[in-house]
Structure formats: C-alpha cells, structure tokens
Amino acid sequence: MKIIILGGGFAGLKLANCLSNKEGIEILLIDRNNYHQFQPLFYQVATAGLDASNISFPLRKAFQESKNTSFRLAEVKEIQAASNKVLTDIGEFTYDILVIATGADTNFFGNTQLKEACFPMKSTVEAIQLRHRLIQNFEDALSTKDAAELQKLMNIVVVGGGPTGVEVSGALAEMRNNILPKDYPELDFKQMHIYLVEGSPKTLGNMSEKSSEQSRKYLEKLGVTVQTGTVVKSYDGDIATLSTGETIGAKIVIWAAGITGNVPAGIDSSLIVRGNRIKVDRTNKIIGSENMYALGDIAYMETPLYPHGHPQVANVAINQGKNLAQNLLQIQKGSEQKLTAFEYHDKGSMATVGRNLAVVDIPKPKIHFGGWLAWIVWMLLHLVLILGVKNKLQIFINWVYKYFTYDQSLRLLYHNFYKKKHGTQ
Ligand SMILES: Cc1cc2nc3c(=O)[nH]c(=O)nc-3n(C[C@H](O)[C@H](O)[C@H](O)COP(=O)(O)OP(=O)(O)OC[C@H]3O[C@@H](n4cnc5c(N)ncnc54)[C@H](O)[C@@H]3O)c2cc1C
C-alpha cells in the first residue's frame, strides 16, 4: 500500500509515525518545509522568548529509524485524483492512498490591503519576521524626531482575541514592562501601547465565561488595551481604522483573526465548505472518494457531538492521525468492516497571558482554574507535546531562566534575512 501524506504537521506526522515500519506499507511524506513546526509557541518566537530551532523538528530526523518512510521537500501544486497523482514543484508522485494534512493559513477574508500590511503568525518564518520588525522599530524609534512617527513605532495592534491574539498581546506587554526599558533606556515605554481588538464581545470566546473574563482581567493588569465588539476595517501600514471610526497609528498590526484551509488544487469545489475545509466522513475519507483522506485543520467532519465540525486544534489533528493509521492497517488486512469512526474526546483547553497568568477549562468534570496553577499546567503540557528531547530541555531551561531573570538574549536582528524577505528594513 503506497501512501502519500501531504503535510508533516500534527496530523500528518502522527499518521506517518503510527504507520512507520509497518509491513506492506510504503509512506511518502511531502512538506514544503523540512521541519515540523510547533505552532502553539510561535508567539514566543515572535516576542524573542524562544529561538525558532526550539520549536522546529527536522522531518528527516523523525524518520531516521523508519524503513518504510521517505520524505520529499516540495510544494504541492495539484492533485489529479483520476490518475492517483500528486503534482509538486519537484515532479509528480503516484499513490494508492492519498492523505491531505496541509493544515491552514491566515485568513484575511479577501482583503488584500490587510494581507499586504499586517503581520500574520502562521509559520516559523512569519514569527521571525515579526520579531525582526518589532526590534527594528525600537531601533528606528531612537532616531525619530517626529512625535507622531515615534508613537506609530511604539504602538502595536493585535487583531483577534482568540488564544493566539491573547497570548501574543500578553507576551508583548511583559516585554514592554520588564525587558525593553532596559534595552532602550532612551525610550519612554509608558508611550508604548498594545491594543487587542476583537470583533466578538469577549476574549477567548470559545472558552468558558470565566476564562474569557479572567483573560481580559489578566491582559488589562499587564497594561493591554482590550477593545471587544470592534473590528479593524482597514490598515495601510501606518493607520489602522476601527469599526468604531477610531484610528490608531501603528507600524505593527498582528493579524490573528482567522484561518483558511490550504486546499490543494484539484479537489472538487462542492466538497469545500466554510473556512476552506474538505468534507470527510467519520473515517476522514473525502466524501465520494475511494482512496483520498483529509486530516486535521483541513478536514471538516460532522458528528452528533460536533455538528459544525471539530475545533481546529492540535489534539484533533493528532487523534485523527492515530485513528486513520489504525483504519488503514485494517484496510490493508482486508478488514474494512472493522473501521473505527473518529470520535473526539475533548480533554480541555487553555491559554496563557503571562507569568503566573493562564486559564484552563476541563470539560469533564467541568472545572475551570486560572492563575499560577493554570500557568504551570500550560507549561507542562506544552513541554510534553513538543517534539524532541533536546527541544524540551532547551525550552524548559529557557523558561526557568526567563522566570528568574525576566530576560532573554534572543533579541537579535539578522538584517540580511529580513531584507531578503521584505526588500527593506
Ligand atoms: C499561532 C498558533 C497558535 C496555536 N496554538 C494552539 C494551541 O495552543 N493548542 C492547540 O491545540 N492548537 C493550537 N493551534 C492550532 C494547531 O497548531 C493546529 O490545529 C494544528 O497545527 C493542525 O495540525 P495539521 O496537521 O492539520 O496542520 P499543520 O500543523 O498546520 O501542518 C500542515 C503542514 O502542511 C504543510 N503544507 C501546507 N501546504 C502545503 C503545500 N501546498 N505543499 C507542501 N506542504 C504543505 C505545512 O508546511 C505544514 O507542515 C495554534 C495555531 C497557531 C497558528
């Protein structure tokens, strides 16, 4: 059974791991990056809390011990289902079974101006670009004479009050409160404003009422200006205009307000639903197909418990990967009648705002807690989930060091890298 897996994220990697070294199965994993990215900690890379290598794991290393898995670094261009082919920028590959696990990208809802001017945080490279801009802005601020321009360099607007927006806002506020005044004593950091703008009435809208309220309280305690019930209508790289009519001058607007699935060309458009997700059955098989599956963020599966699809989180992706591996092994044995329907058991959700400030919701038994304990639980869980012993150790040491010193030594500017991506500083 020749299986091609598109995407080495949480879902694709788990599937490949579960099928690794299984008799009669040949796996080809294709990804446009040669590393797995631990997205939940992008915000710490963007705010110079962690190095990018701490949250990346080389995909080739992951399969050094695997006799049946190969990897190709390639951008998937198109799927030709009729001939069981995947077209990529390095050539075409044929499969018996195709698994699409290409995840999602930032959704700017078709607004090209926002896409051009805002900073997304949906890849390691984007997180590093944001870090560069952040640091460069303070360097620029030192030589700016114009007061309005200075204010724009100091202001940051974060769009979207979900976990990503909340976490990055909190981290930026901690940077401003504890680190930046020491690095830039000539600047007045009382003038640095962080605005979190959220369209719905509350932050962390998908979590419990208590978590929403507490996260807002924590953010405000750190000095973030939280504006709920408000959307950013436009941003031209200088001025963000809000739905209230208010304008904020800012050189950085971070867009964390939505995602859209990375659907490869060649998928029947009638199978693509809201959020650019592909409709699948309870075994993750693409509706109407015999040998194509979709997993993780890109998959849209309706179940009695989740009639509008599953949340796009790592745990769903990992568990779908596991379930599909078991089912593919049954199919290979000719035991199609033994396939298991996917059921998601939500173990809870959490978000961190800053040092000793986090929120945790557990559904069964229904428990909510916040503060120091939630923060410790958040850290432990992320340490368990991150790939690689070296990464776990490095992150742990980094966090302990930061806990005691408040400081990190990662505020580095790699000018050439930044210029290459932006053609400018
Ligand atoms: C900033 C941020 C914070 C998050 N925090 C949390 C959190 O705290 N907890 C949580 O549970 N979830 C969190 N999530 C969501 C979680 O990361 C996703 O649900 C999860 O990554 C989905 O896994 P996946 O395997 O479906 O896709 P991904 O992990 O996104 O993997 C997709 C892979 O496909 C590859 N790919 C995409 N298109 C192509 C192409 N055309 N050609 C080749 N390769 C391609 C990509 O390079 C990538 O490796 C967060 C997400 C973000 C962005």
Which of 313, 322, 382, when mutated, tests ligand 1's pocket best, judged by the most ligand atoms within 8 Å of its CB? 313
Contact by Cβ (8 Å): 98, 294: no
Topology (CATH level 3) of domain 112-257+355-422:
FAD/NAD(P)-binding domain (3.50.50)
Where are any strands of DSSP class E within 221-355? 224-228, 232-235, 239-242, 247-249, 252-255, 259-261, 272-273, 277-279, 292-294, 299-300, 349-354
Helix (H, G, I), strand (E, B) or coil at 217: helix
Distance between the two ends of the chain, CA-based, in angstroms?
50
Phi and psi (nearest 5°) for 68? -120, 10
Closest residue by Cα to atom 17, ligand 1, is 39
Closest CA to 240 of 166, 320, 156, 174: 156
Neighbours of 217 (CB within 10 A): 15
Query: Which atom belonging to ligand 1 lies closest to the Cα atom of 312?
Result: 19
Q: Is the pLDDT of residue 400 over 90?
A: no
Distance CA 115, CA 360 (A): 32
Q: How confident is the model at residue 215 (pLDDT cuts 50, 70, 90)?
A: very high
Closest residue by Cα to atom 19, ligand 1, is 313
Q: Is the pLDDT of residue 418 over 70?
A: no
| 273 close to ligand 1 (CB < 6 Angstrom) | no
Query: Which atom belonging to ligand 1 lies closest to the Cα atom of 123?
Result: 53
Q: Is the pLDDT of residue 335 over 70?
A: yes
Q: How confident is the model at residue 401 (pLDDT cuts 50, 70, 90)?
A: confident
Q: How confident is the model at residue 419 (pLDDT cuts 50, 70, 90)?
A: low
Contact by Cβ (8 Å): 63, 20: yes
Query: Which atom belonging to ligand 1 lies closest to the Cα atom of 77?
Result: 41
Query: Which atom belonging to ligand 1 lies closest to the Cα atom of 103?
Result: 27
Distance CA 196, CA 216 (A): 10
Q: Which amino acid is at 354?
A: G
- Mean pLDDT score of the chain, rounded to an integer? 94
Mean pLDDT (whole number) for 333-341 = 93
Which range has the worst mean pLDDT, 137-146, 242-251, 394-403? 394-403
Which of 10, 13, 33, 39, when mutated, tests ligand 1's pocket best, judged by the most ligand atoms within 8 Å of its CB? 39
Contact by Cβ (8 Å): 360, 369: yes
Q: Is the pLDDT of residue 115 over 80?
A: yes
| 102 close to ligand 1 (CB < 6 Angstrom) | yes
Report the pLDDT value the prediction gives residue 425, as an integer from 0 to 100.
Answer: 41
Q: Of 320 and 364, which is predicted with more confidence?
A: 320
- The superfamily (CATH) of domain 2-32+74-106+259-338 is FAD/NAD(P)-binding domain (3.50.50.60)
184: Cα separation from own chain's centroid: 30
Q: How confident is the model at residue 422 (pLDDT cuts 50, 70, 90)?
A: low
Query: Which atom belonging to ligand 1 lies closest to the Cα atom of 298?
Result: 26
Distance CA 103, CA 362 (A): 25
What is the reported pTM? Answer: 0.94
**What confidence tens digit (pLDDT) does each residue in 14-72 have?**
999 999 999 999 999 999 999 999 999 999 999 999 999 999 999 999 999 999 999 99
> Residue 351 to residues 133, 166, 218, 292: CA-CA distances in angstroms?
25, 8, 11, 34
Closest residue by Cα to atom 38, ligand 1, is 102
Q: Which amino acid is at 229?
A: G
Domain ranges of the chain: 2-32+74-106+259-338, 112-257+355-422
Cα 72 to ligand 1 centre (Å): 18
Closest CA to 277 of 328, 317, 325, 231: 317
Identical fold between 2-32+74-106+259-338 and 112-257+355-422: yes
Mean pLDDT (whole number) for 229-244 = 96
In the 8-state DSSP scheme, what is residue 357? E
Report the pLDDT value the prediction gives residue 57, as an integer from 0 to 100.
Answer: 94
Distance CA 45, CA 326 (A): 35
Report the pLDDT value the prediction gives residue 96, as an integer from 0 to 100.
Answer: 98
